[in-house]
Chain A
Amino acid sequence: GAGVSQSPSNKVTEKGKDVELRCDPISGHTALYWYRQSLGQGLEFLIYFQGNSAPDKSGLPSDRFSAERTGGSVSTLTIQRTQQEDSAVYLCASSKGGSQETQYFGPGTRLLVL
């Protein structure tokens, strides 16, 4: 079946603009995660959604970052008033319902803020 997909694959924006990143999880996966990976660095947890529960937003770095998941499927990560330090690869992952399930990652969106 189809894996996790993300769009756009690359995004170049100017400082101060808003950007929206999209993630399509694997069909039937109830858990969805967003991570940020800066160049040569590890994966920084941002947020996760699990079913109808309230999302865990504890990893969002500032109030400029927000995410939503509509209909328990597609998720959008929004960064408002982008800053140069927001430049990174944003990875989305999804997994089945349990907390010890394998996370399947998308290809990522490479964001460059000029």
Chain B
Amino acid sequence: GENVEQHPSTLSVQEGDSAVIKCTYSDSASNYFPWYKQELGKRPQLIIDIRSNVGEKKDQRIAVTLNKTAKHFSLHITETQPEDSAVYFCAATLTGGFKTIFGAGTRLFVKA
């Protein structure tokens, strides 16, 4: 069945450093890859997404890359700030469908 693996489960960085979170999906029919941020006690919110016809997308300090051949996509956060501390989830949605499979999440700590 469909599966999304996410690494690392926990990531601690110093303020100003970069953070990278990696995900691998199993179903080659996946064509949409959103990333959600969930702060403690709050609901998940979309921070960036990428579609299968694009290799890279950037939005200020956040960027996502996609390698369809390897079925691998990554989130890059540059110049991290304490407010970036949260749990980040990657996800994959199948072509033509709505079923969205989420990774297990990465808990990011940004130390001031």
Contacts and interface: CB of A to CB of B under 8 A. Distances in A.
A56 B99 contact: yes
A33 B100 contact: yes
Interface size class of B (residues with CB under 8 A): 20 to 34
B75 to A, nearest CB: 15
A66 B96 CA distance: 24
Nearest to A105: B43
Residue from B43, B46, B49 whose CB has the most chain A CB atoms within 10 Å = B43
A7 interface: no
Contacts of A105: 43-45
Interface in A58-114: 58-59, 91, 95, 99-100, 102-103, 105-108
A91 B42 CA distance: 11
30 contacts: A31-B98, A33-B98, A41-B105, A42-B89, A43-B102, A44-B102, A45-B99, A45-B101, A45-B102, A48-B98, A48-B100, A56-B97, A56-B98, A56-B99, A59-B99, A95-B98, A99-B32, A99-B94, A99-B95, A99-B97, A99-B98, A100-B32, A100-B49, A100-B93, A103-B34, A103-B100, A105-B43, A105-B45, A107-B43, A108-B43
